[in-house]
């Protein structure tokens, strides 16, 4: 049977702090529940080893005290020489990943643009994609981006497996004094949080809602400065990073979720919002248009047109809510983007459970 070395050294908590961490942890859970644990060796940091072993009894977890660049360049290669695996799988592309190993190397690409990769490193990081033996793209647009950057790659070499919706749950009940609009975003340039703030500012006197912003925001960043300068502190609630139980509570209690991202890689947070039964206004993301025609409530055509965003926020808020439609849409999303389907697809392409 083939054995896969699964890199989770970058994960620091079982909930996952980023979308890529949530994906990596969800896929591991899916593979475990499919009975593939005997084919997986998880590479973990010291902090997480016991957590993985407790969550997945019988899972083979190898601890590395030194992670990051030293792990990828030296310790991983040294381990594989002593304990051969058939495939090393990276759940995301990052600048130190080692693509020159004595085995098949696979990775999932979530997008060709990342706030976590400085511009000076981006070219080198994504150049490594062409060195991979197996390339997985999180959506059709991501595949197109890969092929545009690496024109020598044949189309069939890039496999599309959409990111699953991981561990969608009821969450805790969120009770605020006022109704609210929700945005789950960092204040990075590509996430375009400033567009939501400026659009909300245009209509704040026409609606009873506050705006709740969840995510990694810098108190010295553009978004905070704008809130302070325009006097929006009493109408905008910035929570920072929160745990997923509280996040799902916000999703389920929001009157509207808004996403104005400049970069349209997959669309994870709008999907989560729809899966929780929320109305959604978003730029068009691959996750919403394929497969099976999943649509959000309104689309933003130009994420830099604040008048358009503001007007469409008003349109969706004023539209009568069809709870039955929202529930059926959520159920369909959970079926299309199920963890089980994604795990089965990865198991097939990685050869887990097959004879060598």
Q: What is the pTM of this model?
A: 0.85
Domains in the chain: boundaries: 4-164+338-350, 180-336
- Edge to edge, the sheet with strand 210-214 lists 236-240, 210-214, 180-184, 256-259, 280-283, 298-300
- Give the number of other Cβ atoms within 10 Å of residue 190's Cβ: 15
- Mind listing the pLDDT tens digit for each residue in 157-191? 999 998 899 888 888 888 788 899 999 987 777 78
User: Do 86 and 4 contact (CB within 8 A), yes or no?
Assistant: yes
Reported CATH class of domain 4-164+338-350: alpha beta
58 burial level (CB within 10 Å; 0-12, 13-18, 19+) = exposed
Q: What is the pLDDT of residue 330?
A: 93
Q: How far apart are CA 325 and CA 323, in angstroms?
A: 5
Fold match between 4-164+338-350 and 180-336? yes
Going by pLDDT thresholds of 50, 70 and 90, the confidence category of residue 145 is confident
Q: Where are the beta strands (DSSP E) in 197-342?
A: 210-214, 236-240, 256-259, 280-283, 298-300
- Mind listing the pLDDT tens digit for each residue in 200-216? 999 999 999 999 999 88
CATH domain 180-336 topology: Rossmann fold (3.40.50)
Q: What is the pLDDT of residue 222?
A: 85
């Amino acid at each position: 049977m083939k054995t896969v070395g699964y890199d989770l050294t970058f994960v620091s908590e079982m909930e996952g702090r980023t979308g890529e961490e949530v994906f990596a942890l969800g896929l591991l859970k899916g593979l475990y529940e499919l009975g593939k644990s005997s084919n997986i060796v998880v590479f973990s940091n010291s902090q997480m080893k016991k957590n993985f072993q407790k969550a997945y009894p019988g899972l083979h977890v190898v601890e590395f005290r030194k992670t990051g660049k030293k792990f990828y360049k030296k310790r991983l290669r040294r381990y594989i020489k002593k304990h051969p695996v058939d495939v090393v799988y990276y759940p995301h592309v990052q600048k130190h990943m080692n693509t020159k190993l004595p085995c098949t190397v696979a990775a999932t690409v979530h997008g060709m643009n990342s706030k976590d990769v400085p511009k000076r490193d981006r070219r080198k990081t994504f150049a490594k994609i062409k060195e991979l033996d197996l390339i997985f793209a999180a959506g059709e647009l991501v595949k197109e981006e890969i092929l545009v950057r690496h024109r020598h790659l044949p189309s069939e070499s890039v496999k599309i497996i959409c990111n699953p919706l991981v561990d969608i749950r009821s969450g805790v009940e969120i009770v605020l004094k006022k109704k609210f609009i929700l945005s789950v975003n960092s204040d990075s340039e590509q996430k375009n949080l400033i567009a939501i703030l400026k659009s909300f500012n245009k209509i704040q006197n026409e609606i009873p809602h506050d705006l709740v912003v969840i995510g990694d925001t810098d108190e010295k960043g553009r978004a905070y400065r704008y809130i302070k300068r325009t006097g929006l502190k009493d109408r905008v609630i910035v929570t920072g990073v929160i745990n997923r139980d509280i996040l799902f509570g916000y999703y389920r209690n929001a009157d509207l979720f808004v996403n104005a991202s400049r970069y349209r890689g997959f669309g994870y947070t709008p999907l989560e919002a729809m899966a929780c039964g929320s109305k959604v206004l978003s730029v068009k993301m691959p996750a919403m248009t394929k497969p099976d025609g999943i649509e959000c409530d309104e689309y933003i055509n130009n994420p830099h047109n604040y008048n358009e965003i503001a007007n469409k926020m008003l349109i969706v808020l004023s539209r009568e809510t069809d709870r039955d439609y929202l529930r059926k849409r959520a159920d369909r999303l959970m079926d299309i983007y199920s963890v089980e389907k994604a795990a089965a697809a990865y198991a097939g392409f990685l050869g887990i459970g097959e004879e060598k």
